[in-house]
Chains A and B, each alone.
Chain A
Amino acid sequence: MAWYHRFWNAIRPARLNRDLQRELAFHLRERIDELEETGLDPAEAARLAQLQFGSFTLQKERTRDMDINLYLETALRNLKYSARSLAKTPGFTATVVLTLALGIGANSAVFSAIYAILLRPLPFPNGDRLVKLGQLQTKAQQPQIAPVRLEDWNRLNGTLEGITGYYTEDTSETTGDLPEKIKRAWVAPRFLQVMGISPAIGRDFSPAEEHFGGPNAILISDRLWRRRFAARPSAIGKTLRLPRTAFTVIGVMPASFRFPDGDVDVWAVSAPDASYAQSRQLTWFSGIGRLKPAVTLSEARANLAAVQASLGKQFPKPDAEIAVAVDPLKETTVHGVRKSLWILFGAVSLLLLIACTNIVALLLSRAAARRQETSVRFSLGASRASVAAQMFTEVLVLALLGGTFGLGIAATASRVFRVLAKDLPRIEEVGLNWTILFYSLVTAVAVTLICGVLPAIRGTRRDLAASLSHGSRTQVAGHNRVQFTLVGVQVALAVTLLACAGLLLRSFQELGRVSPGFDPQHILTFSVSSSWGETADYKGAKQRVSRILDGLRSLPGVETAAVAFSLPGVPGQYQIELKTTEGRAETEPKIIAQARAVTPEYFAALRIPLVAGEMCRDEQVKTTAMVNRTFANTYFNGVDVIGRHLGQPDNLYAATAEVRGIVGDARETGLDRVPPPTLYWCSGALQPGAFFLVRTHGEPDAIASAVRRKLRELEPQRSVYGLTPLTSHISDGYAENRLRTVLLTFFAITAIALACVGLYGTLSYLVHVRQREIALRLALGAMRAQVIRLFLNQGLMVSALGCIAGLVLTAFFTRLLSGMLYGVSSTDAATLGGVAILVIVVSATASLLPSIRAARVEPMQSLREE
């Protein structure tokens, strides 16, 4: 336990000192007694004893060293000294701590997002073993899996513990007065086993419940449990009435379970042995599998490929043409935001680097101002290492203070981040935890090392001892070059950030200016709950939709109404390959197009103009279609396409359709994308989750309640949800883009502000150091304007050089932005030039104040101060 005592003795030395004092004093006393006994007089005895004993203080200290942890003691002394000297310069301390708090805080906040979204495994036991499965077909881009095939894979593979699947739909729960919209996930057998999650209360599905015709059991979300059953355990066994079926609640899932997504309220079994699920061509499950321990992804891929190959022999059509896609579930979840997050992390790291550079410059000035003190310490015998240790301790104290405040900032920032980025995957998992705390601590230590080294080396040079004799006579500090280099680096990094932010901002601006080919204004969108099962009754579903549309059109303030499966302008793809029944030469390119299912009024509602042919109508007998201009021009010679029949022979869902006309190009797959060749099926969209689009005369929000009332009258059993103007859907679609732009701009502005503080600080310090020189110049007849120019030029020179370096850096960094820019090249002269001018103007302003102060020096007063 020696270390323990030594540790405490270092922290609370008072008692140890008292004991030592008593023990040694006793020894001395005994010796004196002994000497007195030999006949010496007391004074002589005391003198002799003292002589024998040697220096009391030295003995005490040597003994004390045995009882104490010397490193700790030195560290504590340094700490105390640092605290005292930092408290003496509150301005300096506050500046550094605030700068670091911002730097470390922003860094930790972005890291907390990276950690939660990209680094941490999915919130399932052994989540890194979960994979997403899909079937790849050469003909169609439909990764969904046929239930029978899912079961085949599960039975025949040897590398996965289990395979399950799911799909979702929005439906209504009708136990209460009003139908309530809930999101239902239909899951394949083994769902919870594969996810590795058990219900918080209640039980998993029983084997009987996973078969067709078995009891209708349902698992509910924690949210629904609290909302509907007031979190009472008695909810188990209660009945939930959903359209056409009543389900018995068998369990409540934990609040943390948010799969397939956070909106799902209930999970029910979609039995693969149902009669309607036996076709190998009808696909609906998204597949999820769990790898066996120690099985690699490539082994699983090879294994499933072999399984599918044997299925291909057994069922040549269609299995021979199908391949299996196996990807880590986490990867497929977060893939889209990976690049953005790392770019943001890069930006905050640059910001932290700027903050560090700034602090190095401040520390150098401080070290220079304390030369005399350092010299005194050297001449009293301090070693260079001990002086450097003292300086490092001071930086560490600053960094830890900065880190602590930074964590506060990070906590706030990650809350803001969660709001700003609510559409990012796994965003609900972002928050502070021990890892982030540890990360901040490591960052603070790293900052200490980065910031401490240069001042410690330069500030402890032996030749400084000479300055003891010089007093404060030195005219120009020798390390100006280092400080100006540091400022230059700051400017360069700030320019880089500003340029990247500028390019993103310009892209965003361009995006807003784009003419999308349709009019998203004054459109209210919403959905009406329905289920996939209902689509079996095609006629009934169609009648229902047209009844709703008629009802909507009858509302005052409504111009027209339509239904579409996907929203125009919101990024999304549904690509298919089409064949024409009129035949097509082998040499001609394959017809690959985006498919959109709409009702004929869609074009009128969105103001997409008719270019040629006629507008499609809802026809009972025939399926009709429209194509856009790009489609007609790419695959046919323009109007040739009219009257052609297009279809997907392999897709049972899609009937062959006759093309009636050509409409104008519209940027429906995203405002930043050139309109691709597009085919519109005019037979409407009956799928659950399809969007109703209502063109209004006034503000779309104003008629929301009228729409609700109308739907209540027409469809009392269905819930209406997601009443949102089309424009906000479109801007939500670019939320990640906007987040990236907003944050990067914020970081860039902070960066330039820091660089200006650095420039201002360095020049101010310089003016201070050279005060006597300026006074001399003025006394000898220099003009004040000359003095101003002297310093201003220095500031401008540094920022100009920094600008040039920054623009060179930008050339490297903007490569990372490729694919994120729209309508602006990464070397856009206007943006880069604008950034350069901005930086020069801002740094000129920052230089002006200290320069003017220099010119205000009163020569006589300054010189007399000697």
Chain B
Amino acid sequence: MGAKKNDILQGTLALLILKSLDSGKRMHGYAITAHIQRVSAQLLRVEEGSLYPALHRMEQDGWIRAEWGKTEKNREARFYSLTAQGRKQLAQEEESWRRLTEGVARVIRYA
């Protein structure tokens, strides 16, 4: 299984989801996918096969909370929002991501 270019690195999906919800707006799964795609200028694409298991795992871990609501088109959807614990988690994940990218960047530059 060769990795496709826009596949999301294992473990960063949580960071992306948390960051997407950081604005404070409730979002359903589809909106999260769309949001990530749009903000990343189509560079990143979230697979449904990873998104929902990740959302549900994060919900069980207490980082995000879910509730049923209506979309603009008046459809029933499950909306996710960040919890206090999730905010803390986001800070941690951002920090470790920065360290990772900085490290990788240095290696690429000087090695």
Contacts and interface: CB of A to CB of B under 8 A. Distances in A.
- Whether A and B are associated in the same complex: the answer reads yes
Interface of A: 1-2, 5-6, 19, 22-24, 26-27, 29-31, 33, 52-54, 58-59, 62-67
Interface residues of B, number: 19
A2 B75 contact: no
B25 to A, nearest CB: 17
B60 A23 contact: no
Nearest to A4: B60
B28 A62 contact: no
28 contacts: A1-B62, A2-B60, A2-B61, A2-B62, A5-B60, A22-B76, A23-B77, A26-B29, A26-B76, A26-B77, A27-B30, A27-B52, A30-B30, A30-B75, A31-B30, A33-B73, A54-B48, A59-B49, A59-B52, A62-B49, A62-B52, A63-B52, A63-B53, A63-B56, A66-B53, A66-B60, A67-B59, A67-B60
B57 interface: yes
Contacts of A29: 75
Contact of A19 (B29, B57, B78): B78
A26 B62 contact: no
A673 B107 CA distance: 97
Contacts of A24: 48, 52
Nearest to B29: A27
Contacts of A31: 30
Contact of B48 (A2, A33, A59): A59
Given A30-B30, A63-B53, A66-B53, A53 B60 contact: no
A682 B1 CA distance: 108
A30 B75 CA distance: 10
Interface string B47-67: 011001101110111100000
B75 A54 contact: no
Contacts of B29: 23, 26-27
Contacts of B55: 63
A22 B76 CA distance: 8
Nearest to B57: A66
| Chain B, interface SS category | helix
Given A19-B78, A54-B49, A65-B53, A26 B60 contact: no
Contacts of A27: 29-30, 48, 52
Interface in B11-54: 28-30, 48-49, 52-53
A52 B48 contact: yes
A676 to B, nearest CB: 79
Contacts of A67: 56, 59-60
A54 B49 CA distance: 8
A3 to B, nearest CB: 9
B28 A26 contact: yes
A785 to B, nearest CB: 70
A566 to B, nearest CB: 76
A9 to B, nearest CB: 9
A26 B49 contact: no
B48 A23 contact: no
A24 B48 CA distance: 9
A28 to B, nearest CB: 9
A273 to B, nearest CB: 74
B38 to A, nearest CB: 12
Contacts of A33: 73
Given A27-B48, A63-B53, A6 B60 contact: yes
Contacts of A19: 78
Nearest to B51: A27
Q: For the complex of A and B, list the 9 residue pairs with the smallest distance between their C-beta atoms, beginning with the closest.
A: A66-B56, A63-B52, A2-B60, A30-B30, A66-B57, A23-B78, A26-B77, A63-B53, A27-B30
Nearest to A24: B52
Nearest to A22: B76
A493 B98 CA distance: 72
A355 B60 CA distance: 46
A33 B31 CA distance: 13
Contacts of A53: 48
A23 B53 contact: no
B78 A62 contact: no
Contacts of B75: 26, 29-30
A66 B76 CA distance: 22
Contacts of B62: 1-2
A215 B28 CA distance: 87
A748 B85 CA distance: 65
Nearest to A27: B30
A353 to B, nearest CB: 45
A53 B29 CA distance: 13
A609 to B, nearest CB: 92
